[in-house]
Chain A
């Protein structure tokens, strides 16, 4: 049977089980949009391609399936780039399709031509430009395979217009054969035995868990490991929800905005078990002073992460879940002792708290969101202070419930991501915890939420500042608030103009009723929380310091 390139794309998406894509049309994707017109795939029209990429990313993080976005050539494609880079840094499975000018026009600076495979080379796991329509079906299959296996990541497929508009006799592409791509899933006996011996010999172990736990679905295994060893668990921002936040062994986050007790525990540990984490500089602080007295076991699916920033004494390359299942039977239960006591003391001595001062406190807002949603909401965030407060004060008890831009730190991520999350989880309560700065980076997606009747809640922690930058200016630049104060629109009126619901809250007494109303409302809601203007995220490790040197 003959099929057009666009029809082959639709077929490929269906074969991959794709039910929803996020996109924005244009000249170079007209044939594709024509094929989508009567395809059995839901297309969400965002109001900006960056929104489409982040929505696909949020969809992927909430569902565990690949997120798919689509944009036209040139500016459509370049608008995706931040979203692709964001997915790359956080290892999110995503396939991005872009239109391209016809091959005869390539390389001539044609109208809306951009070398998107060149541009995205450093921020994709792999990318393709389709040059022969006969390769298209296989490329689509490979793209999904690469995006979703091994260490997940975004893959871009650039489709020239003559390919999507061309025709060919359709053949099933058959199995994927990529000789250069063979992710290792299992740890070797030798390394597993070494790790088991080091674990049994340790007296002061700390488990340091990252996003890999969530990607591989290893949360149950992680809990077993922690309970067997009575080992405290600290997670990265990406790892939140990978270990129950209400578990007595949980230490909260480590690193720059970690808890004191997590950082102290890491500094005094004799063994660090790093599970699906990559020793980011925001987490490890000064690399050569990270956990100075500890041996380090590093379990990760990406061999290149091992030894990249921090030395690993024992490295196990493999899928975190598979490796933990290999490791668990080699271990014996331990009893709590002096180490656990010490940690409990630190927890009592240095809790993460805030001081009430009569003004509406951001921490209070997050805590109330937790209470009103029974801890069951899917939370996305933007980037800044509100992100850290969300991480500290909403207790995340299940994987894929905290969805945030970690590696790239992209303001404007949370709202479109929340749209993707809501599409993936139509029956769940979704909150984007936002700053008044960040929300304005993709505010146009309010139209998308209203258009598709997605009842996303946006909680703006409105401090009238680019708060996190202001905090650094306060602490490290002598309170010189250079261009960080914001004159904002009226977010309530703005919400209403879009057809959403807007609510303003400026005192603690109104918190609960407003949040209850928002959760009850089956439409997008914007909550404008007028909070204490100059609150800080504390304690923190100043940049370039090692973890024991916390201030605040």
Chain B
């Protein structure tokens, strides 16, 4: 089963290497990892999607907790949350077929962000399922290049996994 972890870490040099090293060393599989700043400049947030059964997940969480730079870990998998990925796709496209691609983009509420002589670059955000579907829809045109961020996620409603937030706050 796949789990989504919201991990708050001190914004120290090397913290990404510590987390990544831990996963590879202990043989845990990372599906995706996204990291960036939060509302506090000294704290970064990692959203880690990890594959594994309960035992693996328990070890992942406990081993992560042992890192001094890791402040807080929440497994939000069973909760209501919003999750997003961003994808940029450069598709082969003769000028005459631009309209078609724009239609596909429209369906997914994606945006054209660049035009080349024989290519179109589109941007799309959404959850993983939507991004996968979008990618499939463009595949027949010939994808020249694709780049995807990892998933980021946030609990719905008043609850939060931020530093002072409680997952169970209502």
Known contacts A117-B14, A121-B18, A131-B13; is-contact A304 B68 (Cβ 8 Å) = no
* B17 at the binding interface (Cβ < 8 Å): yes
- Judge whether A126 and B62 touch: CB under 8 Å: no
- Judge whether A179 and B13 touch: CB under 8 Å: no
Measured between beta carbons, the chain B residues less than 8 angstroms from A178 are 68
Known contacts A121-B17, A122-B25; is-contact A304 B71 (Cβ 8 Å) = no
* B142 at the binding interface (Cβ < 8 Å): no
Q: How far is the CA of A159 from the CA of B104 in the complex (A)?
A: 56
CB within 8 Å of B: which A174-201 residues? 178-181
Known contacts A180-B10, A304-B59; is-contact A146 B68 (Cβ 8 Å) = yes
Q: How large is the interface on B (under 10, 10 to 19, 20 to 34, 35 or more residues)?
A: 20 to 34
Binary B-proximity of A431-459 (CB < 8 A = 1, otherwise 0): 00000000000000000000000000000
- Judge whether A304 and B63 touch: CB under 8 Å: yes
Measured between beta carbons, the chain B residues less than 8 angstroms from A118 are 17
User: Smallest Cβ distance from B17 to chain A, in angstroms?
Assistant: 7
Measured between beta carbons, the chain A residues less than 8 angstroms from B117 are none
- Judge whether B18 and A180 touch: CB under 8 Å: no
- Judge whether A180 and B59 touch: CB under 8 Å: no
Known contacts A121-B18, A131-B13, A179-B10; is-contact A126 B65 (Cβ 8 Å) = no
- By beta carbon, the residue of chain B nearest A131 is B13
Q: Which of A117, A125, A179, A308 contacts B59 (CB 8 A)?
A: A308
* B21 at the binding interface (Cβ < 8 Å): yes
- Judge whether B66 and A302 touch: CB under 8 Å: yes
Q: Which of A129, A304, A307 contacts B66 (CB 8 A)?
A: A304
- Judge whether B58 and A307 touch: CB under 8 Å: yes
CB within 8 Å of A: which B66-106 residues? 66-72
Q: How far is the CA of A181 from the CA of B71 in the complex (A)?
A: 8
* A303 at the binding interface (Cβ < 8 Å): yes
The count of chain A contact residues (Cβ–Cβ below 8 Å) is 19
- Judge whether A304 and B25 touch: CB under 8 Å: no
Q: How far is the CA of A179 from the CA of B13 in the complex (A)?
A: 17
Q: How far is the CA of A146 from the CA of B67 in the complex (A)?
A: 11
Known contacts A180-B71, A308-B59; is-contact A303 B14 (Cβ 8 Å) = no
User: Smallest Cβ distance from A331 to chain B, in angstroms?
Assistant: 28
Q: How far is the CA of A22 from the CA of B43 in the complex (A)?
A: 37
Measured between beta carbons, the chain B residues less than 8 angstroms from A131 are 13
Measured between beta carbons, the chain A residues less than 8 angstroms from B9 are 180
Binary B-proximity of A308-341 (CB < 8 A = 1, otherwise 0): 1000000000000000000000000000000000
Measured between beta carbons, the chain A residues less than 8 angstroms from B69 are 180
CB within 8 Å of B: which A290-308 residues? 302-304, 306-308
- Judge whether A304 and B70 touch: CB under 8 Å: no
Binary B-proximity of A154-181 (CB < 8 A = 1, otherwise 0): 0000000000000000000000001111
- By beta carbon, the residue of chain B nearest A142 is B68
Q: How far is the CA of A302 from the CA of B59 in the complex (A)?
A: 12
User: Smallest Cβ distance from A69 to chain B, in angstroms?
Assistant: 20
Measured between beta carbons, the chain A residues less than 8 angstroms from B10 are 179-180
User: Smallest Cβ distance from B62 to chain A, in angstroms?
Assistant: 4
For the complex of A and B, the 5 pairs showing the least CB-CB separation, nearest first, are A304-B62, A180-B71, A126-B68, A181-B68, A179-B71
A residues near B (Cβ < 8 Å) are: 117-118, 121-122, 125-126, 129, 131, 146, 178-181, 302-304, 306-308
B residues near A (Cβ < 8 Å) are: 9-10, 13-14, 17-18, 21, 25, 55, 58-59, 62-63, 65-72
